[in-house]
Structure 1
Amino acid sequence: MQLIRLDGSYNARGIGAPERPWLVRSAALDGLTASGERTLRGLGVDLVIDLREPQEHGARAHGLAVRELPLYGEAPPRAGTLEDVYARLIRDRGERLAAAVAAIAEHPGTVAVHCTAGKDRTGLVVALARLAAGEARAEILADYAASGVAVRAARSALVADQIAPLRLSREARREAERLHLDSPAAALGLALEQLDALGGAERYLLRHGATPAQLAELAARAAEAASHAAPDRPVPAARAARTAEPVR
């Protein structure tokens, strides 16, 4: 993963080759400046997948194409535990998770995926896409955990104001703050164990609507990115055999 300085957003990272990632993740991009948009376009990004609910965003300042794929299907949770939120998403929102991963695979360019803070909904979709692409679990967990510092710096005061009216107990308040601000690797690790119990990420995605061709496309992109990151490595046969047409 590579940290990306993005004017008008935060918590942005690229997955794959530093100068041409195959996937970008970030916090919300509504306030992206012209400079921030140029940064993303320079990395090959020409589509944004927005995982938020319609009521979570206003006007967008950038000119990138946007595909809205709301994940929750309702207002985002304001309290609770990270682990419970991830478990419910995996249990109840499999079709939406698979649709988001499929949208990454279907687009022939580089996609930027975001929610509000870019850690939970984004973290789960990115983890599924990377697992389907055959990337190492340790790298996926490290990427997820990297959101914590950036999100706390950007959102601590806002989250305090949001949860104050809920009048939570001290323990419930601590869990709510953790839900909105933290990204401990153990929380995503538990979600991935839940996926393992369901047959693994690939089987889960296929069961909920993704296609074998889409998952193969993700694997080819990740393999190609690895070959760019290590120039002496030959281009993988899976990529060489892939057609230029986007997956439908």
Structure 2
Amino acid sequence: MGGNRQELSAVHVISLDDSYNTRGVGSAARPWVVRSAALDTLTPDGERLLRDLGVGLVIDLREPDEHGPRSHGIPVRSAPLYGQAPPSSGSLETIYAGLVTERAARLTAAVVAIAEHPGVALVHCTAGKDRTGLVIALARLAAGDDRTAVVADYARSGETVRPVRSAIAAAQLDALALSAAERAAAERLHLDSPAEALESALDLIDSFGGVASYLLAHGAESHHLTALQQRAAGSRAACPAALAAEPVA
């Protein structure tokens, strides 16, 4: 991992009319990785914008039955994390712990896909906050980004996701027989990205020796970590003064 030095990559909001929760990490003009909600209805203008940013691969973390036809022509690599329908209720911390312990190889495979793609990869699930949040956090930490900055970026998703998905989540949860406490936890699962949820997952990964050890133990190789570090460093160098989030039109 090149020692214990940690860096700070800028995070830039990317405005897409046909998706949401889209942010690029690194240079505004050429991020080294992008995160987003689903892109199934991406318009030609949205696709053109992403391609102009260098996006040449979409890594879709959803299960096959979570999406229909895709409207865009960017190559897609399917990398489902759960291997079954995503949970509709429960606590974020418990679900993240299950992914970290039971789906480690799948999480690692998604990070490896980012490292192996020679251009810019865009990672998404449905809302771009949980599955995407974990994969992006692992990739950024493996690349040397500062943990505080990584967690702060994760936490931003809630403010974007909640307005878009509140009605969808309510309809889904209305169909379940949940107690008030269970309903509150499920709403948090569907709509929020509290910093403490990601912190709990990262603490668990630290108990396994840290991000690099975790990834190397579950399918990554040292050259994958090096590729992530080099790509992030190159993108950081293109925006050394831009350490705060700035919008991308």
Within 5 Å, give how 1:144-155 maps onto structure 2. Answer: 144-155=154-165
What RMSD, in angstroms, separates the aligned Cα atoms of the two structures? 0.7
| Of 39, 57, 61, the match for 1:29 | 39
Secondary structure of the 1:15 match is strand
Q: Show the counterpart of 1:68.
A: 78
Q: Which has the higher contact order (CA 8 A, sep 6+)?
A: 2
Code of the aligned partner of 1:145: A
User: Partners of 2:95 and 2:48 in 1: how far apart?
Assistant: 34
Secondary structure, in 3 states, of the residue corresponding to 2:175?
helix
Shift, 1:171, TM fit? 0.5
1:104 matched to 2:114:
yes
Describe how 1:126-141 pairs up with structure 2 within 5 A.
126-141=136-151
The answer for unaligned runs of 5 or more in structure 1 is: 232-248
- 1:39-54 maps to which residues of 2 (within 5 A)? 39-54=49-64
What secondary structure is seen at the aligned counterpart in 2 of 1:67? strand
Q: Which amino acid aligns with 2:96?
A: Y
Match 2:127 to one of 117, 121, 125: 117
Q: Which residue of 2 aligns with 1:210?
A: 220
Any idea what SS the aligned residue of 1:47 has?
Answer: strand
Q: How many Å separate the matches in 2 of 1:221 and 1:65? A: 20
1:17 aligns with 2:27: yes
Residue of structure 2 in register with 1:168 after alignment:
178
Identical residues among aligned pairs (%)? 60
CA distance in 1, matches of 2:163, 2:54: 28
Q: TM-score with structure 2 length normalisation?
A: 0.92
2:225 partner letter: L
* Deviation string, structure 1 residues 122-176 (Cα, Å, up to 9, x no partner): 0000000001001000110011001001100110000000111111000000000
Q: Which residue of 2 aligns with 1:230?
A: 240
Task: In structure 2, give the amino acid aligned to 1:44.
Answer: G
Detail structure 1 runs of 4+ shifted over 2 Å in the superposition: none
1:147 aligned partner, one-letter code: S
Q: 1:225: Cα distance to partner?
A: 1.1
Separation in 1 of the partners of 2:29 and 2:17?
18
Measured in 1, the distance between the counterparts of 2:170 and 2:204 equals 31
Deviations 1:87-114 (A, max 9, x none): 0000000000010000000000000000
Q: 2:244 corresponds to which residue?
A: none
**Structure 1 counterpart of 2:63, which letter?**
E
TM-score calculated relative to the size of structure 1: 0.92
